């Protein structure tokens, strides 16, 4: 494994661990100021960083196979998992069965957003940097005036679009994202943010970081603009402290998609158990670390990735009848 590949796998491995760990924390952030602070520090950058990396590696976007890949990798899993989650929720929570294809369940919003970004990529890759960044940031700012109520996660789609665009811009010029001069200030800034959130419970912070914040006044627009600047800064600090060489968790980074899609079943089940209360105790952090690593290691097994290889199961576009002459 080359250093460059190891670096990006390390980045993705740590990010997916933060995703799983963050979801374990969610029900308990109001029980502890420590957990509240930790949760929001994680949510400042982990999904923007994932979306940025997706954009960074979007270098080509054309041809039938490209669009087929979008369908088999993102849209088809979205449809299937919406159905599976509907069945799962019906049994887990003893509620009425309901399929909502237009309202993403839990973490499924990410699939719709990435599919949309990939569909826009042919246009994005051909556009000027100044136009791309201006349009994407403007869209992310304007959407805050509308209460979309989770419809196709359009709010998140537009809010996180600038991070994908920034990734594309830096990726096509192959600019490094690991900035050594930020390495030494990262702990100070992250520690400062943790202390800030520990001392002050900021109203609307969770919705802001989720990308679902709806403005109550024009001040909201300035808040989101500040969010863009702050999140980009923290995101690049994160990338600057990632090891460049292989580490123990490096292999996890090559199978983050399977972990993302399947971890919800384990997390949702566990949070319904009485034993989940351990998270809000002194043993909470050690437990989260061990449990998160265990989930990630299990779901990173090739078996789970193979289950999602729909492009291998389905006929390729050039073999479909409508593509034959």
Give the percent of the chain with pLDDT over 70: 96
Radius of gyration (C-alpha) of the chain in whole angstroms:
20
Examine the pLDDT at 33 and tell me if it is beyond 70: yes
Query: Which two structure tokens, joined as six digits, stand for 135?
Result: 């349009």
Examine the pLDDT at 260 and tell me if it is beyond 70: yes
Neighbours of 163 (CB within 10 A): 26
pLDDT one-digit tens code per residue, 74-106: 999 999 999 999 999 999 998 888 888 999 988
Kindly state the average pLDDT of the residues 152-170.
96
Residue 325: per-residue pLDDT:
47
Comparing CA positions, the residue from 289, 241, 319 lying closest to residue 64 is: 319
- Residue bearing tokens 């369908």: 71
Average pLDDT over all residues of the chain: 92
Angle 291-19-110 (CA atoms, 0-180°, nearest 5)?
Answer: 140
Residue 323: per-residue pLDDT:
53
Residue 320: per-residue pLDDT:
60
Under the banding of pLDDT at 50, 70 and 90, the label for residue 184 is confident
Q: Give dist(CA 11, CA 49) in Å, integer.
A: 9
Kindly state the average pLDDT of the residues 208-230.
96
Comparing CA positions, the residue from 296, 113, 96 lying closest to residue 212 is: 113
Q: Give dist(CA 240, CA 177) in Å, integer.
A: 7
Residue 152: per-residue pLDDT:
93
Query: Which two structure tokens, joined as six digits, stand for 77?
Result: 């899993």
Under the banding of pLDDT at 50, 70 and 90, the label for residue 310 is confident
Q: Give dist(CA 161, CA 112) in Å, integer.
A: 12
Examine the pLDDT at 261 and tell me if it is beyond 60: yes
Under the banding of pLDDT at 50, 70 and 90, the label for residue 126 is very high
CB-based contacts of 168: which residues, under 8 Å, 6+ apart? 55, 56, 58, 121, 124, 125, 132
Neighbours of 291 (CB within 10 A): 18
Three-state DSSP class for residue 281: coil
Residue 150: per-residue pLDDT:
86
Examine the pLDDT at 1 and tell me if it is beyond 50: no
Q: Give dist(CA 308, CA 301) in Å, integer.
A: 12
């Amino acid at each position: 494994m080359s250093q460059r590949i190891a670096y990006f796998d390390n980045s993705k491995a740590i990010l997916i661990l933060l995703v799983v760990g963050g979801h374990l924390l969610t029900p308990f952030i109001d029980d502890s100021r420590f957990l509240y602070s930790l949760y929001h520090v994680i949510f400042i950058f982990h999904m923007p960083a994932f979306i940025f990396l997706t954009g960074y590696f979007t270098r080509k976007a054309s041809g039938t196979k490209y669009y087929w890949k979008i369908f088999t990798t993102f849209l088809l899993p979205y449809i299937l998992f919406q159905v599976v989650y509907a069945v799962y929720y019906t049994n887990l929570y003893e509620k009425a069965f309901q399929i909502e294809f237009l309202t993403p369940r839990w973490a499924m919003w990410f699939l719709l957003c990435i599919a949309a970004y990939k569909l826009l990529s042919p246009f994005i890759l051909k556009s000027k940097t100044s136009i791309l960044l201006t349009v994407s940031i403007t869209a992310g700012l304007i959407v805050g005036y509308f209460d979309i109520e989770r419809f196709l996660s359009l709010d998140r789609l537009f809010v996180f679009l600038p991070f994908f665009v920034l990734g594309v811009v830096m990726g096509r010029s192959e600019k490094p994202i690991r900035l050594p001069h930020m390495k030494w200030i990262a702990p100070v800034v992250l520690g400062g943010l943790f202390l800030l959130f520990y001392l002050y419970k900021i109203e609307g912070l969770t919705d802001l970081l989720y990308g679902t914040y709806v403005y109550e006044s024009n001040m909201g627009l300035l808040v989101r603009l500040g969010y863009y600047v702050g999140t980009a800064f923290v995101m690049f600090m994160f990338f600057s402290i990632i090891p460049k060489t292989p580490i123990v968790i490096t292999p996890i980074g090559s199978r983050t998609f399977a972990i993302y899609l399947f971890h919800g079943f384990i997390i949702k089940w566990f949070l319904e158990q009485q034993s989940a209360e351990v998270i809000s105790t002194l043993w909470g952090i050690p437990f989260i670390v061990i449990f998160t690593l265990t989930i990630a290691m299990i779901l990173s097994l090739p078996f789970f990735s193979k289950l999602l290889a729909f492009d291998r199961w389905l006929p390729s576009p050039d073999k479909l009848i409508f593509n034959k002459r």
